[in-house]
Amino acid sequence: MPDNQENFGLRYPLLDRIRTPDDLKRIPASELEPLAAEIRSYLIEQVRITGGHLASNLGAVELSLAIHRVFRSPHDHIIFDVGHQSYIHKLLTGRREQFPTLRQAGGLSGFPKRCESAYDCFGTGHSSTSLSAALGFAEADRLSGSDAYTVCVLGDGAYTGGMIHEALNNCRKKLRLIIVLNENEMSISKNIGRFAKELSRLRASTGYIRTKNAVSGMLSHIPLVGKRMVASLIGFKQELKGAVYGSNVFENLGLFYLGPADGNDEAAVEKLLTDAKATNQSCIIHLKTKKGKGYPPAEATPDKYHGMPPASATRPEPGQTFSCLMGRKLCALAQKDDKICAITAAMADGTGLLQFRGMFPPRFFDVGIAEEHAVTFAAGLAANGYRPAVAIYSTFLQRSYDNIIHDVALQKLPVVFLIDRAGMNLSDGPTHYGVFDVAFLSQIPNLRLYTPVTRGALETAMDEAFRAGCACAIRYPNGCESPRVLQTFYPDAAPGRIAVRSSLAPADGAPDAVIVTHGRIVTEALAAADLLAAEGRRVGVLLLEQLMPYGDTAAQVAALLPEAACPVLFLEEEVRAGGMGMMLSWALRGYPVMRNKRVDILALEDPFCVPAAGQSCWQAAGLDAAAIAQRLRSALTECKQS
């Protein structure tokens, strides 16, 4: 139970009465507005402590209340896109007592999660997937004869993703599918593009719904001519409505369109949802909400309150995160080269490109939540003489794999991929782990892959990438550089070139074992070396600043390995299959220095692992300093016995 449980009855009397959606249905309509106020107050209080997505949830309070009052979840299916606007849904479905553990190790997920609750019918951690899933639910209900409805709640930012349009193209008219478009003109950065402009002018009338149904029902029972009269009436209605209001994209696709309406007016939303059920066909309800509603700072700057860190989090010095450093370096490069462009997929702030957008607006492109398009668009720019940089989180780069292969690498085009949030990331869970990119990029020819974990290495990697004349990927973690890493691998100055760095000087003598690693997990490798040093065992750590081409990296690693027999542990916080350990150990197999080495790989075996309470991501994955040290102890014992 949370520490402030004793105050719930005093501070949130209406919210205290709700444990299931049935409890919400018993709340009188007159008390819904104060209930919404209580929910907003509770969200602000809790999210400021735990961290999380605040602004999007503050805007979705009334529509969440209305959905759970009109529909019968979990019998009816409710799917949220992208899922970060589902906090109210969680509060209304029996997870209030768990809420203080939101986004904490062993706690409540920040996104819908099937194994967490029967009310979460589908997990949505990436944007623009929900309508395809909802269509699957609705078609399954049609096939089985179920009377369940499927309600798909979409932020308008999701409509900038191509999957939404693919799903819309496949929506049947006669389904129990209701699409709720929550238009707040934001995804994370402000929405852009023609579709966002189209949404801003859509208009439709909703007052005729019940009358239309009643008249259609009456006419259809007239013998011989009734059905033809209904068809004529529908055709006339569409022509009249088109003349008065104009056509819109949803009706052109065969969906019954309702709205726009005030999404922060619970009664209006509830009525529209009820009307949508009465149409007996696939519907879209267009709502306009205020992102950050009820909290003035979030209303004024909703992008700043999209994702909040926990109150207890160690906050980096302003401007010192890798994202910010990348953004400043890219601006410096672009000042010298007017062919450099920057591309983001609705993440200008998160990827550190706000300064670039302000300094070089003609060369800045926000393509919306459309990573596939971002990569092929960059390929087109590169093919026509420009030097595009595509800044994308590692977890979202997965969506553009085919485009990287066929549109960039196959054509040997000089696109630079700036891969943010590389490695395991605790708060958002497995949907946002950046643990697959090394493995899938390692299979692609004509590509260089850099892995800097210091400011100097990041800047040097960017200098090299824009001179390379081929596709380059630079992956870097969330947060800032580690003082321990700087002290160990760069005791004198920042690197002048990308290289393999050693924790041991040649004068130190041969180590008992060697760890070869890259990325921020090098800090765990150094900690493991400290544990073994306390036992009288010397462990050297090799830090890779570049992985691909693996042949080049293998030559540098071989030159730094001791001639004496010893274990060599390849360590990475990414998936094992096809990753650095496999690729680099294979590239090293022909070097004489490897003949007396015991090779081992310690990597992420379960990419969907979830930390228990009190665990770090590395502990949950068995990749923390203690696990590394134990793996080396076993290897040293086996080497001694052999």
Q: What sign does the dihedral 525-527-528-534 (CA atoms) show? A: positive
Task: Give the span between the Cα atoms of 338 and 342, in whole angstroms.
Answer: 11
Q: Could you tell me if 346 and 193 are in contact, meaning their C-beta atoms sit under 8 angstroms apart? A: no
- 291 catalytic, yes or no? yes
Q: State whether the Cα torsion 162-167-173-175 is positive or negative.
A: negative
Walk across the sheet containing 256-262 and list its strands. Answer: 77-81, 150-155, 177-183, 283-288, 256-262
Based on the residue annotation, tell me whether 288 is a catalytic residue of this protein: no
Q: Please say if 371 is a catalytic residue.
A: yes
Other Cβ atoms less than 10 A from the Cβ of 507: the count is 5
Pairing status of strand 500-502 against strand 471-475: unpaired
What does the block give as tokens for 221? Answer: 């029972």
Q: Which of 181, 190, 84, 199 minimizes the C-alpha distance to 131?
A: 181
Supply φ then ψ for residue 462, to 5 degrees.
-65, -40
Q: Which two tokens stand for residue 106?
A: 């062993």
Q: To 10 degrees, the CA torsion angle through 314, 317, 323, 327? A: 170
The helix/strand/coil state of 40 is helix
How far is C-alpha 465 from the geometric centre of its chain's CA atoms? 26
Task: Give long-range contacts, CB 8 A cutoff, 24+ apart: 44-47.
Answer: 44/294, 44/295, 46/99, 46/100, 46/102, 47/87, 47/102, 47/308
Rounded to 5 degrees, φ, ψ at 87 are -60, -40
Residue 106's nearest CA partner among 429, 524, 435 is: 429
Distance CA 344, CA 522 (A): 29
Cα 605 to Cα 622: distance, rounded to the nearest angstrom: 9
Q: Which residues does residue 364 pair with via DSSP β-bridges, in sequence order?
A: 342
Q: Which of 399, 421, 455, 597 is flagged as catalytic? A: 399
Q: Which of 69, 95, 103, 291 is catalytic?
A: 291
- Number of CB atoms found within 10 A of residue 538's CB: 16
Phi-psi sector, 450: left (phi>0), alpha (psi -120 to 50), beta: beta
Backbone φ, ψ for residue 595 (5° rounding): -65, -30
Q: How many CA atoms lie within 13 A of 604 on its CB side?
A: 26
DSSP letter assigned to residue 611: P
Catalytic residue of the set 62, 185, 371, 573: 371
Distance CA 272, CA 89 (A): 19
Q: Which helix (H) or strand (E) holds 22?
A: helix 21-25
By annotation, the residues acting in catalysis are 291, 371, 399
